[in-house]
Structure 1
Amino acid sequence: MLHVTSHGVYYKNGRFLPVEDGPAAGLPAPEEAKKGTMAYAILEAHNTAEGMDKLAIRFDAMASHDITYVGIIQTARASGMKQFPLPYVLTNCHNSLCAVGGTINEDDHVFGLSAAKKYGGEFVPAHQSVIHSYMRERYAAPGKMILGSDSHTRYGAYGTMAIGEGGPELARQLLEKTYNISYPKVIAIYLTGAPIPGVGPQDVALELIRSTFKDGAVKNAVMEFFGPGVANLSMDYRSGIDVMTTETTCLSSVWPADDTLKDHLTVLGRGNEFKRQAPADGAYYDGVIEVALDQIRPMIALPFHPSNAYTIQEFKENMEDLLHQVDEDTVHQLKLKNKPASLLEKIVDGQFHVDQGVIAGCSGGTYQNIVRAAQILDGHAIGADEFWLSVYPTSQPVNLELTRKGYITSLMAAGASIRSCFCGPCFGAGDVPANGAFSIRHSTRNFPNREGSKPSDGQVSYVALMDARSIAATALNGGVLTGADELPDAPVDPAVEPFSYDDTPYKARVYFGVGKADPSQELVFGPNIADWPEQVALPENLLLTVCSAIYDPVTTTDELIPSGETSSYRSNPIKLSEFALSRKDPQYVPRAKEVLAVEKLRRTDPDAPAVKEALMGHDGKDTGLGSLVMALKPGDGSAREQAASCQRVLGGVANLAAEYATKRYRSNVVNWGMLPFIAEGVKDWNVQPGDKLYIPGVRSALDSGAEEIPATLIQNGVEKTVTLKLPGMTREERDIVLAGCLINYYAK
């Protein structure tokens, strides 16, 4: 199905040549030939630096949803922002249905509207659109770059390079600064053939993810899609694959701009924004992944990661072994004291029975996906037993067209529940299953707790990712797991899906304020909206206490700060910090608070007895106290800055890792004034909560540009010299940490 080449290649005359064959084919050196990629042309057009080795990017537009935009605007406002200098879209698709905390969700929406009026932004009210659907419909076009404070900011199918980052990176754009990265690797994703009936975009995406995630084949790279297979895919199909590239840990993605895209932009009323885009003959790539679309089969990604994927046929042939492994992973991942009922009990007469289906969000709720599901279920009922199905159209214009064509009627008649345009099921804030239930979802993630369960309260449920077509096929069979290719009349996805676009709902409800800043408007603050607490500059010496040590192969941002209902407190940094690592290490917060309390006392009375005891003989006048989180590979998943900022609010000063799962999480750590340490062999240090790390001269070392800093690890009274590393920290990143955080840096 997929063939991965991990070394450099040239693309010439429809073939890939090893780099060593380039001279014989008359091709230039890789440094010159890489200019033939689509990614190079787009990056060059947006780069403000003198060269292309170190990029300084300015974006065409930005987007945030209602878990992130309050913090971003508050950060930028505290740093001196007077108006939005580029189009900035504020959507309300994440916490629209969360009732936790009373009025605080809608209070944030009111704040967002007031900010759009004051600073000149675009405000999309709740239930109008999922953030990424809105940006595809209204902003994405060939050659553009868009930045979003959501990890699934991917509009490559529209010829746009889009990047999902933590909030501070958006604040930098609002302050007219640049997005600074080294020139990324560009990996060719070469598509051939056409999908067979019953295979949807999620199936292709899951195959890509399972083939690339574990070995980091495309980590922090740009995935550049092209090849003859592209012409066989509709725009929705392309977008369904593209949005899931986030789960490979790539930086961004881009596709060709062809006639299919031209016609689609014309339907959207933006045909004038089209321009052709394709790789040049002879372009150089850092690797290639060849995807034979006709060999992809319906897939299922078992808990607790999209890369834990198998064909549905493989799953059925190995059900007992695979479900036993999920049982074991559940106990380990969720740190359960009591083992829940085994998923093996869901095998009845050799068939696996699921409890719930959900088709939703930026990946699942698109027009073509829902049309296929409606066609499969048309004239049939899903039944009155345990299994139930929910469908969330991705935007009101999409919902309007589905309604006019009768597809919503077919789904409702089949017993499906039609919901609003909302991202909730994707992050654990909608359609939470019953305890022990198994949910199949066409959404983006199936991390622990993404389905909304609370293991600390004995509540555990499961999410597996599947394509809408196979979810509908399963619903057709009353919840018996079924791949859509098993249907006798499996649906075919045309390369052009007939679609009419009517944006009347947007014209009726969206506040279009881009370029219309009104400084006289006042921001409207609800009682939960709070400023960031003051952060102090990095002291000369540090004595850090390990407050959590995580030895999982990968730690997601959802584990660092849970998604779902906890995100209702997103606009109150102190309240939100109470949930940090709450489902992974419930003692983290009290441990960190204990260290922070003594550190605050040190700042006012460095000779206080409690301070002297905590400092272990070091001078409180130039030695600061702080907490540290150790995780082998933290930061996979969401772009939410709260994964780092909550640690900082609780007195966090550093992370210690073998490596960071994503660039965006490492950036969040730095932007919130924490040191992004890595260390070789850190797993063997056996670091545990309560251990200390003394780092003398850390401020001077950081300021001088040092990439290696000696430190002393103290475990049970035994001292050991260790080396901490800060590879690749830029001068600006160092200055941000020295200042204490991004806000302090700009305030200076």
Structure 2
Amino acid sequence: MGQTLTEKILEDHLVEGELETGEEIGIEIDQVLAQDTTGTLVWLQFEALELDEVKTELAAQYCDHQTYQFDFKNTDDHRFLRSAAGTYGAHFSRPGNGICHNVHKENFAAPGKTMLGSDSHTPTPGGMGELAIGSGGLDVAVAMGGGPYYFDVPEVVEVRLEGELPDWATAKDVILEMLRRLSVKGGVGKIFEYTGPGVESLSVPERTTITNMGTELGATSSIFPTDENTKDYLERVGRGDEYERFQPDDDADYDDQVTIDLSELEPLIAEPSMPDNVVPVREVAGTDVDQVIIGSCTNGAYEDILPSAKMLEGREVNPTTEMIVAPGSKQASEMLARQGWTAEMMAAGVNFSEATCGACIGIGHVPASDSVSLRTFNRNFEGRSGIEDDDVYLCSPEVATAAALKGEIVDPRDLADELGDLEDPGFEMPDEYTGSTADLIDPEEAPDDELIKGPNISEVPLKDELGSDLQGPNLLKMGDNITTDHITPANADALKFRSNIPEYAKFTLTRVDEDFPERALEADGGFLVAGENYGQGSSREHAALCPMYLGVEGVLAQSFARIHKANLFNFGLIPLTIDEETYEQIDQGDDVEIVDDVAEAVRSGQEEFTVRIDDDWEATAHLDASEREREILADGGKLSHTKKQAQGGSSGATPADD
């Protein structure tokens, strides 16, 4: 039986384990990336591990989330990140240069490579045949030091594309269709591998739109084969010599299959407040729109903004609607400006923002109260835009621009009929990507060779080894799909403390219960209880680290999002799975006790744990963990575990293995 493309890349990088679905493996990582909200911890942990230099082929540090530098804390963090990149040997992308995924695609991503990134949308380069996976920052730090990355072999699902996209349908509609069919939980434990004749009709930028937003399916990664389109894109960005052909075998065996006929797609839109709440645009046509934003790492490239510019040429944005362009990279901004499109859009009433993640995480361009915002972003979780009870829709640049012109949601096909002279702008790449790289600093050109820490940068807290007794109150009971934005908000007020855990912890779960941090500290121990898909969204490890700092011992949930579950292990919080009946019975404030000798049970491989509630009734909880994850958990987290091994501890793998 032949191999999938995923299996070929994994086999080529395998250092430990067997390539069998569900089994844990360790792979060698070629490239790593970090951004400014996660990167401070990556480098602080790299320092704490007493590592001397980057050992991966390439490491890149980007400043893309809080580029506005509201006060010295943000600016100090960026200076620290620049100094860390220079000290340890990473490329450094200065604030304003662009979003990590866009800049990395333009400069570094390459076919057949593996990449680990401390951002959940790291799979973006899958559109050019790179197997890229999002993870917590501690995993990135260890990989950057030369250690393998461990994860369970996912199912590989074939997404067979047939036909070609019709007028006004785009790559964004492909991934929205996937979300409509499969939901935000449909990709958990899976890698989506795109095949079929329809692949040839999609350029690399279109493919990366799909792989970027595949994260919203909960997928480990998404990947396309490489072909002449890949070679063509690499030549246009000046890296044609990096092209390699990677294809699955004709008789590759997939775990499942999804078939999409591209020719049958129409403009789609995700309604508030979940990326899988997808309907045809025509179903919500007529809804008044107050704000439109083109941009983000999903649809902020030159090729995404150009169709909008063409649609706006000679026209004006509706006076009731504000329209903003937030480019994915400075290169995109520069190219549009040199070609005159920036002036054309400004003349139409469009405002241009810095190339940043800002609005996507609620920093800048926050919607007005009781308003509708159409965005070409990848997430519309409730409150993520910076205001609670928001109404954020997700759509393609073409649908967003049509709404800006009309002042209400409208299918662009219908607007074209109404205006008479509006044509589908189509998809167009430049002959050559010519933007400057002045803001991308090579390690050999780094101005720093020692760490520079401002007063807001604290040390990474460590957790004690797992004890035999775990008990405490149920500090908070939550529902399904609690995101990392709920756990550790990413707004401007909170995010400036990303490198100061004692301060950042004060915001933990305040979007669910504003009194939680104080109550958790007073309890000096306890648990969180949640429904399905707990911890979906961002890779930020703060969502595990901050609860740990507040004394939380573990989480009892019906299911966990992949990256967050790994982060819970990495910071010594036990993730136990409970059934729906147990979830329904537990109340907030109930005393929770794990009856077993927890440390011994974890180390010995025990899977079922008895949980006693209020000395009144008992339930069974499950721990799904590999032997390596159990050792990490028992040692109080991956940082403590790795330091213990370096000091000659007896349990688990050697430092080089972990």
TM-score, normalization: structure 1?
Answer: 0.82
Tell me the residue number matched to 1:330: none
Tell me the residue number matched to 1:500: 432
Match for 1:465 among 389, 394, 412? Answer: 394
| SS of the residue 1:667 aligns to | helix
Counterpart residue type for residue 354 of structure 1: V
Match for 2:241 among 272, 276, 279? Answer: 272
Q: 1:710 to 1:704 in 2, by over 3 A?
A: same
Tell me the residue number matched to 1:30: none
Counterpart residue type for residue 94 of structure 1: H
The 5 Å alignment of 1:278-289 reads 278-289=247-258
Match for 2:543 among 621, 624, 643? Answer: 643
Q: Distance in 2 between matches of 1:52 and 1:709?
A: 29
Tell me the residue number matched to 2:424: 491
Superposed CA RMSD in Å reads: 1.7
- Shift of residue 711 of structure 1? 2.8
Q: Would the aligned equivalents of 1:401 and 1:499 in 2 still touch at CA under 8 Å? A: no
Cα deviations across residues 319-348 of structure 1 (Å, max 9, x unaligned)? Answer: xxxxxxxxxxxxxxxxxxxxxxxxxxxxxx
The 5 Å alignment of 1:106-117 reads 106-117=75-86
Q: Distance in 2 between matches of 1:277 and 1:176?
A: 25
Report whether the alignment pairs 1:746 with 2:636: no
Counterpart residue type for residue 63 of structure 1: L
Q: 1:490 to 1:190 in 2, by over 3 A?
A: farther
Tell me the residue number matched to 1:326: none
| SS of the residue 2:517 aligns to | helix
- Shift of residue 521 of structure 1? 2.7
- Shift of residue 685 of structure 1? 4.3
Q: Distance in 2 between matches of 1:682 and 1:591?
A: 26
The 5 Å alignment of 1:292-331 reads 292-316=261-285
Match for 1:732 among 603, 623, 628? Answer: 628
Tell me the residue number matched to 1:378: 313
Cα deviations across residues 680-705 of structure 1 (Å, max 9, x unaligned)? Answer: 23555422222111224111111211
Tell me the residue number matched to 2:523: 595
Q: Would the aligned equivalents of 2:332 and 2:435 in 1 still touch at CA under 8 Å? A: no
Q: Which ranges in structure 1 are unaligned for 5 or more consecutive residues?
A: 1-32, 317-350, 597-625
- Shift of residue 431 of structure 1? 0.5
Q: Which ranges in structure 2 are unaligned for 5 or more consecutive residues?
A: 645-658
Tell me the residue number matched to 2:499: 571
Q: Would the aligned equivalents of 1:556 and 1:635 in 2 still touch at CA under 8 Å? A: yes
Report whether the alignment pairs 1:125 with 2:54: no
- Shift of residue 522 of structure 1? 2.3
- Shift of residue 218 of structure 1? 2.8
Tell me the residue number matched to 1:66: 36
Match for 2:3 among 31, 36, 49? Answer: 36
Percentage of matched positions with identical amino acids: 31
Tell me the residue number matched to 1:46: 13
Q: 1:517 to 1:408 in 2, by over 3 A?
A: closer
Report whether the alignment pairs 1:698 with 2:595: no
Tell me the residue number matched to 1:431: 365
The 5 Å alignment of 1:126-145 reads 126-145=95-114
Q: Would the aligned equivalents of 1:451 and 1:462 in 2 still touch at CA under 8 Å? A: no
Tell me the residue number matched to 1:343: none
Tell me the residue number matched to 2:297: 362
Q: Distance in 2 between matches of 1:226 and 1:462?
A: 35
| Higher alpha-carbon deviation: 683-692 or 387-396 | 683-692
Counterpart residue type for residue 141 of structure 2: A
The 5 Å alignment of 1:624-639 reads 626-633=525-532, 634-639=534-539
Tell me the residue number matched to 1:207: 177
Tell me the residue number matched to 1:610: none
Tell me the residue number matched to 1:331: none
Tell me the residue number matched to 1:444: 378
- Shift of residue 195 of structure 1? 1.4
Tell me the residue number matched to 2:453: 525
Cα deviations across residues 292-327 of structure 1 (Å, max 9, x unaligned)? Answer: 1111111111111100111111224xxxxxxxxxxx
Q: 1:517 to 1:80 in 2, by over 3 A?
A: farther
Q: Distance in 2 between matches of 1:293 and 1:648?
A: 46
Counterpart residue type for residue 102 of structure 2: S
The 5 Å alignment of 1:381-420 reads 381-383=316-318, 385-420=319-354
Q: Would the aligned equivalents of 2:611 and 2:619 in 1 still touch at CA under 8 Å? A: yes
Cα deviations across residues 476-504 of structure 1 (Å, max 9, x unaligned)? Answer: 21x1211222223341524x633421242
- Shift of residue 386 of structure 1? 3.1
Q: 1:595 to 1:498 in 2, by over 3 A?
A: same
Q: Distance in 2 between matches of 1:711 and 1:380?
A: 64
Match for 2:140 among 145, 170, 176? Answer: 170
- Shift of residue 462 of structure 1? 2.0
Q: Distance in 2 between matches of 1:76 and 1:682?
A: 42
Counterpart residue type for residue 643 of structure 2: A
Q: Distance in 1 between matches of 2:396 and 2:505?
A: 35
Q: Distance in 2 between matches of 1:723 and 1:151?
A: 32
TM-score, normalization: structure 2?
Answer: 0.93
| SS of the residue 1:656 aligns to | strand
Match for 1:562 among 484, 489, 496? Answer: 489
| SS of the residue 1:379 aligns to | coil
Tell me the residue number matched to 2:470: 542
Tell me the residue number matched to 1:148: 117
| SS of the residue 1:721 aligns to | strand
Counterpart residue type for residue 357 of structure 1: V
Q: Would the aligned equivalents of 2:557 and 2:583 in 1 still touch at CA under 8 Å? A: no
Tell me the residue number matched to 2:439: 509
Q: Distance in 1 between matches of 2:411 and 2:361?
A: 25
Counterpart residue type for residue 404 of structure 2: A
Report whether the alignment pairs 1:83 with 2:29: no
Cα deviations across residues 612-657 of structure 1 (Å, max 9, x unaligned)? Answer: xxxxxxxxxxxxxx22111112011111111111110101110101
- Shift of residue 234 of structure 1? 2.2
| SS of the residue 1:558 aligns to | helix
Cα deviations across residues 406-427 of structure 1 (Å, max 9, x unaligned)? Answer: 2112111101001111111111
- Shift of residue 721 of structure 1? 2.0
| SS of the residue 2:616 aligns to | strand
Tell me the residue number matched to 1:688: 587
Q: 1:94 to 1:517 in 2, by over 3 A?
A: closer
Q: Would the aligned equivalents of 1:449 and 1:562 in 2 still touch at CA under 8 Å? A: no
Tell me the residue number matched to 1:238: 207
Q: Would the aligned equivalents of 2:164 and 2:263 in 1 still touch at CA under 8 Å? A: yes
Counterpart residue type for residue 91 of structure 2: E
- Shift of residue 548 of structure 1? 0.6
Counterpart residue type for residue 631 of structure 2: D
Q: 1:685 to 1:450 in 2, by over 3 A?
A: closer
Tell me the residue number matched to 1:186: 156
Q: How many residues align?
A: 631
Q: Distance in 1 between matches of 2:223 and 2:584?
A: 41
Q: Distance in 1 between matches of 2:244 and 2:177?
A: 31
